[in-house]
Structure 1
Amino acid sequence: MVLRIFTCLIAVFLIGGRFSPLLAQKKSKQKKEDNSPERIILADKGQTLYRIVVPSAATADEQKAANVLQDYLLQISGAALPIIEADRSRSRYEIVLGQNERLGELGLPINLNELKEDGFLIKTDSLRLIIAGGNEKGTLYGVYSFLEKYLGCRMYSPKVKVVPRQATIMLDKIDDLQVPVIGFRDTHYRVTWDEEYTDWHKLDHDAKGGRPDWGMWVHTFNELVPPDVYYDEHPEYFAMVNGKRLPTQLCLTNHDVLDITIQNLRRKIAENPEAKYWSVSQNDNRNFCTCDNCKAIDDREDSPSGSIIQFVNQVADQFPDKMISTLAYEYGRAAPKTLIPRDNVNIMLCSIEAYRDKPIEADTTSADFVKDVQDWGKIAKDIIVWDYVIQFNHLISPFPNLHTLKPNIQFFAKNGVNALFEQGNREVGGEFAALRAYLLSKLMWNPEEDVARLMSDFLNGYYGAAAKPIQQYIDEMTQAQAASSQPLRIFGSPNEASTSYLSPELMKRYEELFNAAELAVADSVQLLERVRIARLPLEYAWMEQAKKKYAGEGGVFQKFGDRWEASTTFRSKVDDFTDLCIREGVTQVKEWSTSPDEYRTANYRLLAQGMNEHLAYGKKVTFISPGNNAVTAEHAKMLTDGVRGSQDYTYNWFSFSGQDLEVVIDLEELQPVRRIESAYFQYGFWLRLFPRKVEYSLSADGENYTVVSAVNNTLPIDQYGGQQRDFIGEFTPQNARYVKVKAYSIGNTPGWHPGAGRPANMLIDEIVVE
């Protein structure tokens, strides 16, 4: 009892001595009507009259919203607002959260159904602040939007957050209703894999990038009808391709396949009953079934999506309370002519073929895709677009597509798309990864956002005084790309851009801008590190272009007299680039392959090989296989030009499909030969495979050859990552003028391979004779 009296006396003293601004507000407000337009003072000099009111049966997300609001208000103002339940005592000084019974008591006409799952209303009513949200995370999203829009908080990345201190939190009248057009929003950048970032930016994945609403995500035919279980005994379950059954896709008109799919899907749903979406979708290859029954449906529907939709509709009928998702991807992208997806069928439409230099709707080369989006929008109730916003072969490379993000998302929303998966970089890093994730997340929530304002806000908050030169860098590169009229491809490269937005002149200009950016933040270790990370794509582009040039000005090697030496600039850039990538946590520089250390190793290999003017250097190469139709004049020179390939298989590698390599090199005179080597590239799951054996032969007359060495391949062909291997033959020196190299292809890939039955590609870069 004594303690209670003492506490009350202290409270009276505090109110009298320190609450005067708030008490003034209280007295003033009591004289006004409840709908007074005057400002609300939530906190002043660390004190408050307010408390946070949650529903008496608050959901976990509503309770979380209250805790988040309480924590940030304390950080901003020093005021600790208590959290109470709605069945406790009433006050006019309340922040009312969630689907709260207080709303009915106050007689506020809020249509909670209008908010759907994620929408929210932020509203002032007399002295109260109301943040009411939809059935799922709406209230939590509303709290984060209130903190950002009205209190100046920012979360640019999980590591870069702004919480401005305010002695007084004063609110003008607010009436802010937000309901997203895009119901499911996922930005596939590793930088977003953080619980608070995900909630702050209203994304539909968890802290590890997973999607809890999805039981199975994509490319699931093999998972539902596993070839290793069924193919040997039942090849008829699988696709008829060129007259042969292959385990590439399913035969979608086989009744047993339907039964097995339903049975296995039912088992998976029982293991994860909370998931709403379940993918029944094609594998990631183009070898679909062309048996008579499947072909008849596809011909009738003018698209292979015909047999897909007929099959998936039958699956969906068995699971009326779930959404069955399927891909409209590559061969199955066009909508069927007469078939209609069931209401519980989700169409996952993929934009993989589209260029990125112009908005999709404005690009004539994307006219077919635009039509497909419009056609599916007319017949499907639930559509998710899988969109692509990065250059996959070069994850850390300049890619000026930021200006297309908003119009593309607007186009999708306009055509009935209610879900978006923006595929950026599943690995750590990538060009402006934090900026891209930030812009995409904001635009998916509201496609009408002002991108210029968002970008300016981000650059200033993230890079400080370096914002201006970095903004200039982005603007000038975007303008250079537009002026070039060259397409921007998601499978392009810095070398492809060397005649457009990454020309030698522009590269020098970009260097100047980044020098200015670094100088502007030289006194801040954190900001300088962020600027240097932003510069990584430029450094990467410089190195890749140097490797393409290889020798001479701007190349990896320069000649001094009769001696070739490695560029000291290139050598230093390799280590600086790799070390910064590792410090930042970058995992890959190419999709599925090439860690920073592997990138360093590939470049060290190049430096170690050097510019070697060996016996066959510059000599004529005659092709026996592949035939003339696969060999250009450039190819004929490529195998003896001294230029070595690296981790990018699209440059300095001669590639051909489905044949052995057999060539003869004329050394022009008889001379002793003791060593022959040739280099090959493998990217196993993408049909770029090592030869099974390489054979070297010598001849003095060009007619009679003697095999001097044979090297067998011992590496498997089931790896995602890129590998390079030198097949080296060493032997007792023999006099010869002609050198024959024969590399034996593995032929068509085996049935278990993702490219089953398709011819393998062979890649070779240089034949060295010593």
Structure 2
Amino acid sequence: MAKSTTCPARVQSVFILFFSISFLLTSLPLSAQKKSRQKTTSTTATNIVLTDKETSRYRIVVPAAATPHELKASQVLQDYLLQISGVALPIVADNKGRSRYEIVLGQNERLAEAGIAVDFNKLKEDGFLIKTDSLRLIIAGGNEKGTLYGVYTFLEKYLGCRMYSDKVKVIPTQKRIALAQINDLQVPVILFRDTHYRGTWDAEYTDWHKLDHDKEGGRPDWGMWVHTFNELVPPQNYYKEHPEYFSMVNGKRIPTQLCLTNPTVLEITIQNLRRKIAQNPTATYWSVSQNDNRNFCTCDNCRAIDEREGSPSGSIIQFVNQVAQQFPDKVISTLAYEYGRKAPKSLKPQRNVNIMLCSIEVNRDKPISEDPTSDDFRRDVEEWGKISKDIIVWDYVIQFNHLVSPFPNLHVLQPNIAFFAKHGVTAMFEQGNREVGGEFAELRSYLISKLLWDPNQNVDVLMDDFLQGYYGAAAKPIRTYINEMREALQKSGATLKIFGTPYDAATSYLTPALIRRYEQLFDEAEVAVNQDATLLERVKIARLPLEYAIMEQAKKNFTGEQGVFVKTDGQWKVRSAIRAKIDPFVDLCNRQGVTQVKEWSTSPEEYRAAMYRLFSQGMKEHLACNKKVKFLSPVSESLPAEANKMLTDGVRGSHDYAFNWFSFSGKDLEVVIDLEEIKPVKRIESAYHQFAFWLGILPKKVEYSVSIDGENFEQVGLVNNTLPIDQYGGIQRDFVSEFTPRNARYVKVKAYTIGNTPEWHPGAGRPANMRIDEIVVE
């Protein structure tokens, strides 16, 4: 995709041409698998000397009517040859004078004159041929960026150049550039290749690594990307007067998804999509796809289709097919995601319908092809492949709840991409970190980009080449760190999930003993490059995830050797080793440009603030600490077994709402704490967490009351919430009430929910979740 032609045509006519090759001037082989069909022929005999002692008889020949990409290819080649050899080769058009010494670029008249047959139909858009013929070097590519991609491949594969990141390139110098015979034909099986890492948005990185996005990470050929139901039929415009346009869930219409069997919804969708296409007529792909929630319509008509088809994809495909019929010159894309991932039994997508199949549920500790828990996903890939010839896979490669955290999945990247290619997938979007940074962001970007072009490459060779080029003398201990973490995960038998946490891994790949070993390896890495400030900074950035994991596990443990707090001389104090980590961690994140440590929330500065909040709150053995909590609401039968301990255990929640925040949905909180004896009380506080995007919303207000007998309560505090719910980042707020001391044995806390979210909210009509932390009584 992101091309000028549609995916169905590509799928029917593209064949894999990968064969293993041997590098001439580099140590990086393209593939370690003989089954690859990428074709290269070379011998050791030198027959072309492009430059020698800062002189050259060669010139670069472009077509007289060269495309912008062919012209760019000539300029890139000229520039890099100058940097490598000190020689500036002239660029001339193919209608000028002839010479025996030419580098022939693009779809060039010289090819026919020399009797060189190039099947440009086989090259399609991005494929290319690098070939020597007599004294000529030929780099000819497909009708989009093929020639440009061929030039970058020539520079990397035959002249030893590298682009490891948007900021790190290697351009070796050599006065004499001599080439052996070359016959290198490459046509990718994956035609649309994209990964979500900011560093890959650099224009040259994008071209060098053959990715399909622009300098903002956008996809120019896509008019709308995903989750578009609300954009096409906005609830704020229609829900109040026409709730029937939206999903029926548990007998009630709520604006979470569309009612896909309502004819007026179809009409509005087509009308609004037509307007959007008129505003961007050159875009080919237009997403008509479900919102990012699971509350699909279960009205009689929608349910009948879904039951007949064995999946909610039934009503989705029927609806999208009707939309697609109105736009025969466009491709209408829809999601096979979560509730709609399973293919329908009998319905088939129209010719111009694209299926975006998402792998969000699969584990990342084993390749999809080998993981028993991925049986249903493998089935879905196969079933969609039988009924659709235009499939893009949306895959996920990082831990979203903790973007800056160890996530040992590098070993599954190659087999998973190869699995999709084997099953006919011709377009892939690898969702990494849309923010800056993340664990081994540069390495992941590099590996993914290379594998999307050729899924059969030897990932170990790719990784070693990157580590040596990017980290220098620190490469060996960093590679050992990667290997040992992967081995620990595999030995433990634990699963690896994209919504996991560093404290989930405390018994698998992040045990205390392993963490000490990893610290030793990074100490070695830092010593190895301590005379090079640039390499040392890269090593410290690579160490950030380990430092983050240590801090996160300390919050989970809370006290003791691996905790935040330790008791010294009868007093709880912040452990010095943890206090010493937070500022260097945040400062380095800021230097690197890290924007968030958690998807959608928590900037490094917010993370620092959350840690200092925890330090200041301390481990308090307050009056309610470890005292019994009685729940009046929500009712005890609906609560986890540990609920009556969580609110008074002394352990505080922090930036991550998944840890130590007691959470429930759609109810007020009302609890009574028995202090076990009458004591003077003068201060009560309780903490709450808001992450409104995912329905975690602060209470409207919190009331505090005290009692001596547990029957008659006196209100001593009322705290109203003043923070809006349209701030979608993570927010922690302490609701504090101080008052004239009262004698009391019982303390009541009542926090009022906002109820269901309003119409304008992404979770419109759904009950809010309340998340509460420690109740402190002093």
Q: Taking structure 1 as the reference length, what is the TM-score of the superposition?
A: 0.94
- 1:568: which partner in 2? 576
The answer to whether the 8 Å contact 2:239/2:759 transfers is no
Helix, strand or coil: the match of 1:362?
coil
| CA distance, structure 1, for counterparts of residue 560 and residue 670 of structure 2 | 31
Structure 1 segments unaligned to the other structure (5+ residues): 1-34
Contact 2:236 2:759 in 1 (8 A): no
Distance 1:300 1:195 in 2: 48
Does residue 1:94 correspond to 2:90, yes or no? no
Task: Give the counterpart letter for 1:465 in structure 2.
Answer: A
CA distance in 1, matches of 2:278, 2:68: 25
Taking the aligned partners of 1:719 and 1:249, their CA distance within structure 2 comes to 22
Match of 1:366 in 2: 374
Q: How big is each residue's C-alpha offset from its partner over 1:351-373, in whole Å with a ceiling of 9 and x where there is no partner?
A: 11111000112111111111111
Please point out which of 285, 288, 302 is paired with 2:296. 288
Q: Distance in 2 between matches of 1:262 and 1:94?
A: 54
Which residue of the other structure, out of 140, 144, 166, is the alignment partner of 2:148? 140
**2:211 counterpart residue number:** 203
Rounded to whole Å, the distance in 2 between the matches of 1:333 and 1:632 is 31
Give the whole-Å Cα distance in 2 for the aligned partners of 1:622 and 1:245: 35
Correspondences of 1:603-642 after superposition (within 5 Å): 603-642=611-650
2:550 corresponding residue in structure 1: 542
Q: Secondary structure at the match of 2:164?
A: strand
- Give the Cα separation in 2 of the matches to 1:228 and 1:758: 15
**2:559 aligned residue:** 551
Aligned to 1:447: 455
Residue 703 (structure 1) aligns with: 711
Q: Quick one: distance in 1 between partners of 2:728 and 2:377? A: 29
Contact 1:247 1:752 in 2 (8 A): no
Pairing partner for 2:183 from 175, 183, 186: 175
- Aligned match of 2:598: 590
| 2:167 counterpart residue number | 159
Report the alpha carbon displacement of residue 312 of structure 1 after superposing the two structures with TM: 1.0
The match for 1:59 is: 67
CA distance in 2, matches of 1:37, 1:560: 75
Provide the TM-score with structure 2 as the length reference.
0.93
Aligned counterpart in structure 1 of residue 407 of structure 2, from 382, 390, 399: 399
Q: Could you tell me whether the CA contact under 8 Å between 1:630 and 1:656 is conserved in 2?
A: no
User: Aligned partners of 2:569 and 2:654: how far apart in 1?
Assistant: 26
Counterpart residue number, 1:22: none
Contact kept, 8 Å, 1:623 with 1:664, in 2: the verdict is: yes
Per-residue deviation, residues 3-26 of structure 1 (Å, max 9, x unmatched): xxxxxxxxxxxxxxxxxxxxxxxx
Residue 731 (structure 2) aligned to one of 723, 726, 734:
723
Shift of 1:755: 2.0
Q: Identify the residue that residue 29 of structure 2 maps to in structure 1.
A: none
1:538-581 C-alpha deviation (Å, 9 max, x unpaired): 00000001111112222111111221111121111000000000
Distance 1:109 1:750, change over 3 A: same
What's the Cα RMSD here? 1.3
Aligned positions, number: 736
Which residue, 687, 698, 701 being the options, matches 2:695? 687
Q: Distance in 2 between matches of 1:341 and 1:399?
A: 36
Q: Which amino acid aligns with 2:158?
A: Y
Distance 1:54 1:719 in 2: 54
**Partner SS, residue 589 of structure 1:** coil
- After TM superposition, list the pairs within 5 Å mapping 1:271-420 onto structure 2: 271-420=279-428
For residues 112 and 65 of structure 1, the distance between their equivalents in structure 2, rounded to whole angstroms, comes to 17
Q: Deviations over 1:497-544 (max 9, x none)?
A: 001000000000000000000000011000000000000000000000
CA contact (8 A) 2:436 2:593 kept: yes
Q: Cα offset for 1:752?
A: 2.8
Of the structure 1 ranges 198-207 and 101-110, higher mean CA displacement relative to structure 2 is found in: 101-110
1:748 partner letter: N
CA distance in 2, matches of 1:39, 1:344: 49
* Mean CA deviation greater in 757-766 or 509-518: 757-766
Please give the per-residue CA displacement for 1:238-279, whole angstroms capped at 9, x wherever unaligned: 222222222111111222222221222122112212211111
Instruction: Determine the structure 2 residue equivalent to 1:28.
Output: none
Higher relative contact order (Cα pairs below 8 Å, separated by 6+ residues): 2
Q: Secondary structure at the match of 2:377?
A: helix
Distance 1:219 1:67 in 2: 40
| Same amino acid, percent of matched pairs | 73
Residues in 2 aligned to 1:515 and 1:674: alpha-carbon distance in whole angstroms: 50
1:244 equivalenced with 2:252 (yes/no) = yes
Give the C-alpha shift of residue 746 in structure 1: 2.1
Distance 1:519 1:116 in 2: 49
One-letter code of the match for 2:382? Answer: Q
After the TM superposition, list the runs of 4 or more consecutive aligned residues in structure 1 that deviate by more than 4 angstroms.
Answer: 35-38
- 3-state SS of paired residue (1:385): strand
The 8 Å contact of residues 46 and 178 in structure 2, kept in 1 or not, is answered as no
| Letter aligned with residue 262 of structure 1 | I
State the shift of 1:601 in Å.
0.4
Distance, in Å, in 2 between the alignment partners of 1:38 and 1:703 is 97
Say if 2:431 is the partner of 1:427: no
Whether 1:514 and 2:522 are equivalent positions in the alignment is: yes
Between the aligned partners of 1:676 and 1:231, the Cα distance in structure 2 is: 42
Distance 2:315 2:669 in 1: 40
Provide the rounded CA distance (Å) in 2 between the counterparts of 1:171 and 1:594: 52
Aligned to 2:767: 759
Mapped to 2, the partners of 1:162 and 1:36 lie a distance apart of 25
C-alpha separation in 2, matches of 1:344 and 1:158: 36
Q: Note if 1:40 corresponds to 2:51.
A: no
Which consecutive residues of structure 2, in runs of 5 or more, have no partner in the other structure? 1-42
**Residues 641 and 766, structure 1, Cα contact 8 Å, conserved in 2:** yes
Structure 1 residue 629, shift from structure 2 partner:
2.6
- Does residue 194 of the first structure (1) align with residue 202 of the second (2)? yes
Residue type matched to 1:548 in 2?
K
Is the Cα contact below 8 Å between 2:364 and 2:498 reproduced in 1? yes
The answer to whether residue 224 in structure 2 is matched with residue 216 in structure 1 is yes
Q: 2:132 aligns with which of 115, 124, 130?
A: 124
